A and B are shown apart, each in its own frame.
Chain A
Amino acid sequence: MYRGVMIIGEQRGGELHPVTYELLARGRALADKLSEELSCVVLGHDMERFAEGIIQRGADVVYIVDNPLLRNFLPRPYTSVLTRLAKEVKPEIVLAAATTQGRTIMPLVAAKLDTGLTADCTGLDIDPLDRSLLQTRPAIGGNVMATIKTPASRPQMATVRPKSTKPLSADKARSGRVVLKSYEKDMFTTCEELVRFVKDATQDVNVQDADIVVSGGKGLKTRDNFCMIEELASLFGAAVGATRDVVDLGWVGYPHQIGLSGKTVSPKLYIALGLSGSVQHLAGMQTSETIVAINKDPDAQIFKVADFGIVGDLFDVVPELIEKLKERKNGKLRREG
């Protein structure tokens, strides 16, 4: 009998990544609808210190698998441990984040458990008729949404798009159990090895983690003009995004590319400058909370998904916007000073 909801906590470099709290909020809502327990699994070394915070943010049970060999994410040992744990605990639902880690480990575990997996869900709910998981995700480049079920196989597995849920605030009164699991040595054997990790400074502002993204397209005309986008982004404390054209021209690196062949983002604010809004680009940003577009062409597709549009020459509008935002900032500082 499969019961309860399990989320896979995300550990990066020995720290619990905050996307775990988003998963806890998702998992809590589903567990409450099912009147079942929510558990959270954390793999790594010296991770027990995070258990209390995980319970405060919604978990009833925390499974800690502690081993120095789990310090870094490696597919083989992570798959062995998670597959074994899922077989022991038998959750009816397993969720992980749709990050490079989650999108790698979940297909591996799903294949080992011979069950279904839905990628990159933006909506999760329980079907009141049969208590099954309704997994909703953008399909065909975000032009339609598809709701997917796993009727006969258990557990029902899904990865959840980061930034699609607000974490619950920590409730110090919540209580839960911490279960330390240990396994025999051969569970941790691996045929992959992390030789080294190089932190990439240019990825410090991850477009997918950013609350605000300022994006530019070919309409900027030159690399020098693209600096305008960077200046505006820094004023907003935003990440810089770009269309495929701009990345192909080499103005910015691939990690900044938004769209079908790049990253999908849904920030609180998306500012689109000098880009017309190809279907491919729209697919990567149309779920943003608020969209602002500035473009010369009143018929540009980008205005169809925008909340606020300015038809005009961006070489006039953007410098004016930068100027006024600076004034506003200084004015604020003066008032506060």
Chain B
Amino acid sequence: MNIYVLLKQVPGTSDVKMDEETGTMIRTEHKNVINPLDENALAEAIRLRDVMPEAKVTAISMGPPHAQKALREAIALGADEAVLLSHRGFGGSDTLATSKALAKALVTLAGGKLGKNDLVLCGERATDGETGQVGPMVSAILDVPVVTYVRKIDCENHAIVAERVVEEGLELIKASLPAVVTVIKDINQPGFPTLSGKLKAKSREIPVITPLDLGLSSDDVGLQGSPTRVVKVFRPRLSRDTIMCRQDSAGTAVDNLISFLEERGVV
């Protein structure tokens, strides 16, 4: 069984700059981390591997060269292998172009086709883009089942049973393998790097894959391969005309609040 984890390096804070011209995000090496939900996906992959004989966890990321830091961290946390899709040509990819590249990488790593017991895991969404589109898009391109918003996974032979959290409750979904599963925070509590993992991460070579390696042309990836374009970036009107009161013993602040709510028609 091969478990592939798609992970994205994201800014540690939401302090990201945007290239006003292309509308794409400028990523610098500063304070980048593994997308938190992808860390849950990785922890789940490791958990499944540890109960499954001969299972292997491979972390895959697409990003600038410094995204290899996130992959080293993944190895320190317990991944067996890691590969990085990195090349100028990938820059500016939207979710569809990213998904095409990742799907191609998965097929290539699996030797032409995902195996009958293979599983692809990723976070339900990333904290920077927040689209949640890459997981399902990868599954559509690979033509394999997808289960989204998952908080529990049980593996059976050639199938998984997953708990999917939806608005009104919980769905128990059975899907055949290979499949893509996107996870939510409830699934587990990610662990910490081990000493042996850290040592392994230091010495480990992380292969870098280019569009050419995947047989992708410049029309398939990057801005050219992306159907969407950011045409404008602007700041929303954030500051409101705040009415400020100070609490006092006479209770005027609360009275003012209640009349304010009455005026707005919310009580």
Stretch at the interface among A42-50, A55-63, A134-142, A179-187: A134-142
| Contact between B16 and A309, CB atoms less than 8 A apart | no
Stretch at the interface among B49-57, B67-75, B193-201, B248-256: B248-256
Stretch at the interface among A22-30, A95-103, A170-178, A221-229: A95-103
Cα–Cα distance between A292 and B227 once the two chains are bound (Å): 41
* Residue from the list B146, B230, B240, B254 in contact with A148, Cβ < 8 A: B230
For residue B267, CB closer than 8 A to chain A, the reply is: yes
Contacts of A279 in B (CB 8 A): 13-14
For residue B30, CB closer than 8 A to chain A, the reply is: no
Contacts of A192 in B (CB 8 A): 145, 147, 173-176
Contacts of B267 in A (CB 8 A): 236, 325, 328
| Known contacts A111-B137, A192-B174; A261/B37 CB under 8 A | yes
Stretch at the interface among A1-9, A31-39, A84-92, A196-204: A196-204
* Residue from the list A111, A199, A268, A317 in contact with B136, Cβ < 8 A: A111
Contacts of A100 in B (CB 8 A): 148-149, 164-167
| Known contacts A144-B233, A197-B172, A200-B169; A317/B132 CB under 8 A | no
Most chain B CB neighbours (cut-off 10 Å) among A146, A150, A269 = A146
Contacts of B76 in A (CB 8 A): none
| Contact between A119 and B235, CB atoms less than 8 A apart | no
CB distance from B29 to the nearest CB of A (A): 18
| Contact between A116 and B226, CB atoms less than 8 A apart | yes
CB distance from A261 to the nearest CB of B (A): 6
**Chain B residues numbered 164-212 whose CB sits less than 8 Å from any CB in chain A:** 164-176, 184-186
CB distance from B79 to the nearest CB of A (A): 22
For residue A258, CB closer than 8 A to chain B, the reply is: no
How does the 8 Å CB contact mask read for B113-147 relative to A, with 1 for contact and 0 for none? 00000000000000111111111110111000111
How does the 8 Å CB contact mask read for B96-108 relative to A, with 1 for contact and 0 for none? 1001000000000
| Known contacts A100-B149, A149-B228; A140/B131 CB under 8 A | no
How does the 8 Å CB contact mask read for B59-99 relative to A, with 1 for contact and 0 for none? 00000000000000000000000000000000000111001
For residue B242, CB closer than 8 A to chain A, the reply is: yes
| Contact between A147 and B232, CB atoms less than 8 A apart | yes
| Known contacts A117-B96, A261-B37, A290-B266; A145/B234 CB under 8 A | yes
Q: What size tier do the contact residues of chain B reach?
A: 35 or more
For residue B111, CB closer than 8 A to chain A, the reply is: no
Chain B minimum-CB-distance residue to A253: B186
Chain B minimum-CB-distance residue to A260: B127
| Contact between A79 and B140, CB atoms less than 8 A apart | yes
Most chain B CB neighbours (cut-off 10 Å) among A79, A107, A140, A153 = A107
For residue B110, CB closer than 8 A to chain A, the reply is: no
| Contact between A317 and B184, CB atoms less than 8 A apart | no
For residue B257, CB closer than 8 A to chain A, the reply is: yes
The list of the 7 closest CB pairs from A to B, nearest first, reads A312-B247, A116-B227, A141-B14, A111-B140, A116-B228, A107-B136, A153-B227
13 cross-chain CB contacts under 8 A: A75-B145, A75-B146, A118-B228, A145-B233, A147-B234, A192-B145, A194-B171, A287-B236, A292-B260, A303-B244, A308-B242, A311-B246, A328-B267
B residues near A (Cβ < 8 Å) are: 13-14, 16, 18, 23, 25, 36-37, 94-96, 99, 127-137, 139-141, 145-149, 161, 164-176, 184-186, 226-236, 238-247, 251, 253-255, 257-258, 260-261, 264, 266-267
